[in-house]
Amino acid sequence: MSKADVRRDALRARRSLSAEQVESLSARIQNALMALPEFLEAGVVASYVAKRDEVQTGKILRSALSSGKRLLVPRTDPSSLSLRFCEIRSLDQLSPGYLGIPEPPLTSKAVPLSESQLVVVPVVAWDDAGRRVGYGKGYFDRELRSRGRAASAGLGFESQRRDQLPATSSDVPLDIIVTERRVLRFGGVSSG
């Protein structure tokens, strides 16, 4: 199965979830992520801001801010197919940006992703080897290469799991995948 086929199939599965299911499952996933030592011990967390039917991140963002962590969120530059992670101090700083996704202001200063200790990544499909398929433009894969020693954690619903994903040399595997049922660690022990 090609990446495009996997993406289409996984998005269909995700979009079949009701808004209530997305909210309920997302709450479990967010709670599991916030209990991880990688989150608890991080001084700087970089995270996507969820749209529509993605695993929601609002609780994670609010927790990071309220606990005094520095919070970096992406601003999309579609002309260069890149993300600029910018620090925010309040969710009120976000407004609809590329594709309607909440983003920091244009005037926000970019912060190198290598300053973070944890990068929270959206997932369209994932497998038990830590591979992910995103939306197909490679935004997060390109940025993950510059994360330094920061752990990468993908958030996904179990319904997005596939037995095996096609991989290319440009794909960057995740360190952790968190679902509503479990936490998988790659190169280590999974729990849940």
Q: Looking at residue 101, which CATH number applies to its domain?
A: 3.40.50.10420
Q: Is residue 190 part of a domain?
A: no
The pTM assigned to this predicted structure is 0.93
Side by side, the strands of the sheet bearing 70-77 are: 82-88, 70-77, 44-47, 118-122, 151-155, 176-178, 183-185
Burial class of residue 90, CB neighbours in 10 A (0-12, 13-18, 19+): exposed
Strands 183-185, 176-178: pairing is: antiparallel
Strands 118-122, 95-96: pairing is: unpaired
29-43, 92-106, 163-177: which range is least confident on average? 163-177
Q: Is residue 47 part of a domain?
A: yes
Residues spanned by the domain of 84:
3-185
Are the C-beta atoms of residues 73 and 94 closer than 8 Å to each other? yes
pLDDT of residue 136: 83
pLDDT bucket at 190, cuts 50 / 70 / 90: very low
Q: Is residue 131 part of a domain?
A: yes
CA 20 to chain centre: 20
User: For the chain, what is the domain count?
Assistant: 1
Q: Is residue 192 part of a domain?
A: no
39-48, 148-157, 179-188: which range is least confident on average? 179-188
Q: Is residue 139 part of a domain?
A: yes
CA distance 58 to 125: 21
pLDDT of residue 187: 66
